[in-house]
Amino acid sequence: MNSFSSLLQENRVFSPHEDFSSKANISSFPQYDELRNKANSNILNHWNEQAMNLHWFTPWDTILNWNFPTAQWFTEGTINASYNCLDIHLQTANRNKEAIVWEREDGITASYTYAELHERVSAFAYSLQSLGITKGETITIYMGMNPEAIIAMLACARIGVVHNVVFGGFSSDALKDRINDSQSVCVITQSTTKRRGNDVALFDAVSNVLPFCPTIRHIICKQKPDLSTHDITIPIIDWDEFIHHEHQLEAIPLPSEHPLFYLYTSGSTGKPKGLVHTTGGYLTHVRYSFSLVFDPKPDDMYFCTADIGWITGHSYVVYGPLMHGMTILIYEGALNHPHPGKIWELIQHHKASILYTAPTAIRAFMSAGNDIPHSFDLSSLRLLGTVGEPINPEAWMWYHTIIGNSTCPIVDTWWQTETGGIMISPVPGAIPTKPGTATIPLPGILADVVRKDGKSASANEGGYLVVKHPWPGMARTIFGDDERYTSVYWSEFPPNSEHNGMYFTGDGARKDDDGYFWIMGRVDDVVNVSGHRLGTAEIESALVSHPSIAEAAVVAKPDDIKGNALIAFVTVMKDRSIDLDALKNVLINHVAKEIGSIAKPDDIRFTESLPKTRSGKIMRRLLREIVTGGVISGDTTTLEDFSALEKLRSDED
Ligand code: WT7
């Protein structure tokens, strides 16, 4: 592994590079400061101005209706997301500009101009409508990273159908839960997608769960599968036969608060929750943040490596860049396949100018050595971004030096599925950066670090990361569970005599002497693995659903590449005589089947019992200490014995 530690001085500051700043929309700190002061002194006016940059069919009458903790933005206004991504470009120079450039692992490529994308989306929307799918109903999209997935999203948006994209890496069981919870009436999928040389059978997963998904009326499938081996009672509609190019549907004006999508994400308890994002406010926040953070230029080739199954894919692969008329580059497959430098080859070949990716990916490419990126021409890059987890300063320096040639600014962007869009990030032409911090909140976003009593923490004092004023991209609720929404996000800091209530992010953070935010990770039982968010409770319930397992506790262990690894402690059913080594693999595969490969524990440790407090709570802190400090050996062939730790029980009560 390269060591950039020598280059790292404590709190080293990188001023925006002159080459970048001289062409940036916001090119100096004073210019930024003026914008921030104006925005933060009148937040509603700020968002009002930002909303005016979108196309509305009818104007709004109220900027914000705030009834803690329920927000409605731009009420009475009518708008359409698909119109703002496509139709607005048709009379401009963007009409014949490429909107999507797509490559697949096996070398297949395609591209669509804005006019072509508009045509396909309008035709697909027409066909959806002719199936009788109507405004407010939900469609689950379960596809790989290809133009069809984006066409499906935008076609839903065009007619007010709520899209619910499920990451193609999730298992059929996870898919089933998301279809049923969202009450989807249709699934749009494809026969197979490519991943590291394998064909991932998406249609088969859909077909397996169909008998358990009573709300589904239709399935639309790209590359019609061989149905002889399936026993399916509803018709499978072939994507290509479904689109009739002679039928084009106009975008429907929708109320600003009409739901645009649900997106499921893990929490600290129970099943994943479907966050509800609506139209007008979400688009306003995403358009604004994209413009500030990515400083878009007409000739950019924009490459965000996120999958559309995650919020980054929604906001900064699809909606943000398309509203700005960008050309987006998407890749269906693994970025180090068919060769370890594939990501750099894509940048060289397509002359990508902006790269937005996750620290995990950066660390993995860093560990593969500098020769690989050095053998490609990366001089087209002008801006680099990261998202999803804290970036360690070594990886930041490598990204800056080896990929960015020491000239590209790095935007470390902090946000969440719940926030809809970027909240804390440098504005690249104006804000000096420091490796490892997302710097300061965007103008109009009132983020802070507070103590348990809600008062602001002092400089360098660790505390809870909160947001003190509603913002337009915020999730409105958890689908079907308003109470859970209130209790998860708004009950930690409810309104009192000192403040009007604050949104709690679930993250711990500190602000340094310059007011820069350093994210210290989750303070709840959510673990960030490779930039993906997983609930330990979910993985534990997958483990105990196996007949051999009595109890399970999952904790995170720091990992050089993935940020965190998952270690599961389990107790086996008493009546079983079991080969523990074999069981370990069975359990790992069982979790992959229940949730998906991303949730696979990195290690399973068998124990006689789990250490518990007198009131019966599992002592997770102790387990975390064990996995980080190696207090107990990880010999998997014998059961671990925590009896020596019994005396610690009283400390935890
Ligand atoms: C959690 C949200 C935002 C899209 C991808 C993840 C962590 C996110 C950063 C960052 C440190 C970060 C937080 C947050 N996180 N970005 N730049 N620095 N931590 O979305 O799955 O909703 O996860 O990811 O812990 O709460 P998500």
- What's the confidence (pLDDT) of residue 650? 39
Domain of 134 in residue numbering reads as 42-334
Task: Tell which of 334, 365, 398 closes a domain.
Answer: 334
308 part of a folded domain: yes
Task: Indicate the top mutation candidate among 415, 433, 504 to test ligand 1's pocket, ranked by most ligand atoms within 8 A of CB.
Answer: 415
417 part of a folded domain: no
Q: Which amino acid is at 126?
A: Y
- What's the confidence (pLDDT) of residue 639? 58
Atom of ligand 1 nearest to the CA of 526: 25
Distance 143 CA to ligand 1 centre (A): 23
Distance 502 CA to ligand 1 centre (A): 19
354 part of a folded domain: no
- What's the confidence (pLDDT) of residue 3? 45
Task: Tell which of 299, 316, 334 closes a domain.
Answer: 334
Cβ(416) – ligand 1 distance below 6 Å? yes
Write out pLDDT tens, residues 614-652: 777 888 888 988 898 755 444 444 556 666 555 444 344
Return the closest-CA partner of residue 331 out of 355, 303, 357, 309. Answer: 303
Transcribe 260-273 into DSSP letters: EEEEEE--SSSS-E
- What's the confidence (pLDDT) of residue 8? 52
489 part of a folded domain: no
278 part of a folded domain: yes
- What's the confidence (pLDDT) of residue 358? 96
Identify the CATH number of the domain in which residue 152 sits: 3.40.50.12780
In the chain, which stretches have pLDDT less than 70? 1-11, 575-577, 630-653
172 part of a folded domain: yes
- What's the confidence (pLDDT) of residue 630? 58
Task: Tell which of 276, 300, 334 closes a domain.
Answer: 334
341 part of a folded domain: no
Dihedral class, residue 172 (left if φ above 0, else alpha if ψ from -120 to 50, else beta): alpha
Write out pLDDT tens, residues 465-499: 999 999 999 999 999 999 999 999 999 999 999 99
- What's the confidence (pLDDT) of residue 111? 98
User: What CA dihedral angle connects 629, 631, 633 and 639, to 10 degrees?
Assistant: -130
Which residue, judged by its Cα, is nearest atom 20 of ligand 1?
A: 416
pTM: 0.93
- What's the confidence (pLDDT) of residue 245? 86
Identify the CATH number of the domain in which residue 552 sits: 3.30.300.30
Which residue, judged by its Cα, is nearest atom 23 of ligand 1?
A: 416
6 part of a folded domain: no
Structurally, how many domains does the chain consist of?
A: 2
- What's the confidence (pLDDT) of residue 629? 77
Query: Between 172-182 and 202-209, two packed helices, what is the crossing angle to 10 degrees?
Result: 60
